[in-house]
Amino acid sequence: METVVLSGPVAAQFAEAGFAVFSELYTPAEVAALLQTVESAAGNGPNFRRSQEVFAIRELLKEIPTLWQLLDTPALRQLMAGLFPAGCQLVKAIYFDKPAGSNWLVAWHQDLMINVDQRIDLPGFGPWTSKAEGVSVQPPVAVLENMVTLRIHLDDCNATNGALKVVPGSHRHGVVPAAAIVGYTPNATVCAVPAGGGMLMKPLVLHASNRSTSNRPRRVIHLEFASVELPTGLAWRERREVM
């Protein structure tokens, strides 16, 4: 497969709208290998969440270390090089499976929290949360502005099986107060992505997803990359150097 380069109209759309979709990032054989590796993991514990409506694995590469060998392709590296010429690190990895007929929905929100190794009270960092899997915090906007999310779709995805809805350009408004979100959503668009495709998104883009109305699953690997270092004493909990 040809490597994916973020340039031209796609780069302009990503900068302006805060998201972009690539129809081919992983080959059918690569997708099959990713699915087989994830679905053969017989894991349990706090990072695994299973129900009739969702199957999720947090700290994905900690739970399934061999998955990175399949994800780390020339296409991925070329894409990251275009986004972060000076280099970046992977800072979060999650697997989401919205099963066929799931009535799970996600309300409008921005991705404001990052996973860190410990709690240290620092200016501009907060609020904090502490769960079984570890500590998370909302960092200053400058950190979020130097992060990118890549959603790797392992199934064809459209409005019937939970494709993301996004508000183009909403990342340019910083942290949007909860009460103000409704004013942005009339401008939302649905991001259909084919199996093997990828969706790039800035964390501050407002996004949501509807309940599934089809009999098709929606399996996604969610990766977050950052080009910034955290203040001394604080570290990304899932940090992995990419380039």
Cβ(221)–Cβ(93) under 8 Å? yes
pTM exceeding the 0.85 threshold for the entire prediction: yes
Of 15-24, 98-107, 130-139, 179-188, where does mean pLDDT reach its minimum? Answer: 98-107
Dump pLDDT digits (tens) for 141-154: 999 999 999 999 99
Dump pLDDT digits (tens) for 157-209: 998 888 999 999 999 999 999 999 999 999 899 999 999 999 999 999 999 99
The answer to whether residue 2 is domain-embedded is: no
Give the CATH number of the domain where residue 23 resides. 2.60.120.620
Question: What's the structural domain count of the chain?
Answer: 1
CA dist list (Å): 231 to 116, 143, 221: 11, 11, 28
Segments forming the whole domain that contains residue 229: 8-241
The answer to whether residue 1 is domain-embedded is: no
The answer to whether residue 86 is domain-embedded is: yes
Higher pLDDT, 71 or 43: 71
What is the DSSP track for the chain?
-PPP---HHHHHHHHHHSEEEES-SS-HHHHHHHHHHHHT----STTEEE-SS-EEESSHHHH-TTHHHHH--HHHHHHHHHH-TT--EEEEEEEEEE-TT----EEEE----EEESS----TT---EEEETTEEEE---HHHHTTEEEEEEESS-B-GGGTPEEE-TTGGGG-SPPGGGGGGTGGG-EE--B-TT-EEEE-TTS-EEEPPP-SS--EEEEEEEEE--PPPTT--BTT-EE--
Provide the pLDDT for residue 82.
87
% of residues, the chain, pLDDT over 90? 65
What confidence tier does 50 reach under pLDDT thresholds 50, 70, 90? low
